């Protein structure tokens, strides 16, 4: 992490990039008014490189997973300002939790840590051996299978309770599916989708 100053915000950012020797930084900015005879404004930037921030997130995750008694390997990547960490462990079920709840909680913890330490919000995506990808595929298969049944029988079907991300996958998959409509019903955390015959 570096703290740099400049007469303009751009100058302070460029100074941070030069010190960190990378174009890929995340920063917070501050305007400092200087008094005296010649009043002026100086821009101050607290900056960290993408790689350094990713390393901090990974180390934090290592602490948590060790305290759970898990041996975990990590694969990391950064695309734009999205930090993705895929975990491989000797007990994936514990890391994932019921319907991915533990995984979601770990994501929330990581975001809260970054926010507390750096006063910035970044997109952090955690996955366990491509669980999310497989979950999306499973939900899409369920959506199509159920929609076909509803269209054939003309009987509405309520799916299990899902979080907003999972419900969106179902809605999107069936947007152009002829003969059915989808509607979210119920109160969180018991909201679910009903696939209705048209």
pLDDT in tens, 33-85: 877 777 788 999 999 999 999 999 999 999 999 998 999 999 999 988 899 99
Q: What is the pLDDT of residue 195?
A: 96
Query: What are the residue ranges of CATH 3.30.1370.50 in the chain?
Result: 133-197
Specify the DSSP class assigned to residue 100: G
Q: What is the pLDDT of residue 120?
A: 86
The pTM of this model reads 0.76
- Buried-state track 130-154, b at ≥16 Cβ within 10 A, e below 16: ebbeebeeebeebbeebbeebeeee
User: In the CATH hierarchy, which fold is given to the domain comprising 133-197?
Assistant: Ribosomal Protein S8; Chain: A, domain 1 (3.30.1370)
Query: What are the residue ranges of CATH 3.30.300.20 in the chain?
Result: 51-130
Partners of 152 in the β-ladder: none
Q: What is the pLDDT of residue 164?
A: 86
Q: What is the pLDDT of residue 173?
A: 95
Token digits of residue 84: 């993705």
Q: What is the pLDDT of residue 192?
A: 95
Q: What is the pLDDT of residue 76?
A: 94
Give the residue ranges of the chain where pLDDT is below 70: none
**CATH entry 3.30.300.20 includes domain 51-130:** yes
């Amino acid at each position: 992490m570096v703290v740099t100053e400049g007469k303009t915000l751009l100058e302070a950012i460029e100074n941070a990039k030069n010190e960190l020797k990378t174009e890929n930084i995340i920063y917070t900015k501050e305007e400092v008014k200087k008094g005296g005879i010649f009043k002026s404004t100086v821009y101050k930037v607290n900056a960290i490189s993408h790689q350094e921030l990713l390393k901090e997130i990974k180390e934090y995750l290592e602490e948590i997973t060790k305290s759970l008694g898990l041996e975990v390997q990590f694969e990391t990547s950064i695309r734009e300002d999205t930090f993705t960490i895929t975990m491989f462990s000797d007990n994936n079920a514990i890391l994932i939790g019921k319907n991915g709840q533990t995984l979601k909680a770990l994501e929330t913890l990581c975001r809260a840590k970054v926010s507390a330490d750096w006063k910035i919000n970044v997109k952090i995506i955690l996955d366990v051996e491509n669980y999310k990808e497989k979950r999306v595929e499973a939900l899409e298969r369920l959506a199509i299978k159920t929609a076909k049944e509803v269209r054939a029988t003309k009987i509405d079907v309520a799916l299990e309770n899902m979080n907003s991300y999972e419900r969106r996958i179902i809605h999107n998959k069936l947007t152009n599916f002829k003969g059915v409509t989808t509607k979210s019903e119920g109160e969180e955390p018991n909201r679910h989708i009903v696939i209705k015959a048209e």
